[in-house]
Amino acid sequence: MSAARVHSKLQRLVLETYRDYLRAVKPLDPSVREQVRREFREAATRFQPSEVLLIEYHLRRAKKQLKQLQKGSVTAVGSISIDHKQVRFLSTGVLAACFVCLDKRNEMADHKILPVFAFIDDGDQLQQLREYLNNVGKAKLDPKGPPDVSDNLLDLCSQLTVMGACPHPVEVDYILNSVCSLMVLVPAERAPEVVGAFCKAITPAHFKGLGWNSNAGHAVHVLSNLFRGFAAHPKIQEMLYRSLVAMCSEAHMIGELDCSTETLQKQFKQWGTSLEGQRDILRLVHIGLLEDQKADQAAKVMIMLLGTYTEKDAAQARDDAIECVRTA
């Protein structure tokens, strides 16, 4: 399927979703309808033209939340309240994200021609992913896999390491993003398990290279997209951040992350990260900064790490203190 046809179908799906949102809010206050329109107009700058699968990921989320809206189980669109009995919240960021491509159609038509899994039935998409991994990646997956989406993705993620040896980095980005686009179908209670399996596969042991155009660089891109997609799930974000830092370190791209001590402290508070968890992440960030020749920033992170110790557990700081001296 050509990129132009992919984009044409994406445009149609986006417009259909927009139409359905307008129909769903028609009986409500006019301000709600205007909010939907405003989000639609503002969405064109949310993502890069090449992020087709990230757009599709948010489109899936938007469709899922549209069903909640149609059932009367959404209480607000943006800052505008809706008087319903059941309490749920519709993130306008999700709504906006699904409309991003409309003002970029000329650019997106130039997207590379690749095997396309998006915009098809979820079962078919999983089956085609399995076929691709078996034929191209030499994985050993059952052609169909478990009927349950969560179980299917868990099984599929166990073989994603084969993509690390793919000689075409762009396909690495595409396949991993295709897997991520299906994660919105996973129930909340199983999301940590599925994302954990994905992170276990996407590691520096399997994905190598320097910069954005390497396999490691594309892994960074995909993990970054997934990290943004789970903004409302702090524990999952924390898990993804660990993987993201490790892959950035491999690709010498830690500079693409905001690793300031202020940001790290803010994230730890937001995620409710345990003390040991903070130390683990700080060690990973420190290594990544050193790999990327950012010694001054690495020193600040090391000071932050040593500052997590008290008189009671000072003896445990020995290894970190030695590392501090070694890398000074």
pLDDT reported for residue 256? 84
Residue 300 pLDDT > 70: yes
Q: pLDDT digit string (tens) for 236-259?
A: 999 999 999 999 999 998 888 888
Residue 118 pLDDT > 70: no
> CA distances (Å), 113 to each of 1, 109, 171, 176, 325, in order?
7, 10, 10, 16, 51
pLDDT reported for residue 258? 86
**Separation of alpha carbons 183 and 195, rounded Å:** 8
The whole-number average pLDDT for the span 72-79 is 56
Highest mean pLDDT among 18-22, 23-27, 142-146, 267-271: 267-271
Instruction: Indicate the pTM of the whole model.
Output: 0.66
The whole-number average pLDDT for the span 67-78 is 62
> Which pairing describes strands 80-81 and 76-77: parallel, antiparallel, or unpaired?
antiparallel
SS3 80: strand
**Separation of alpha carbons 302 and 316, rounded Å:** 15
Residue 42 pLDDT > 60: yes
User: Whole-number mean pLDDT of the chain?
Assistant: 75
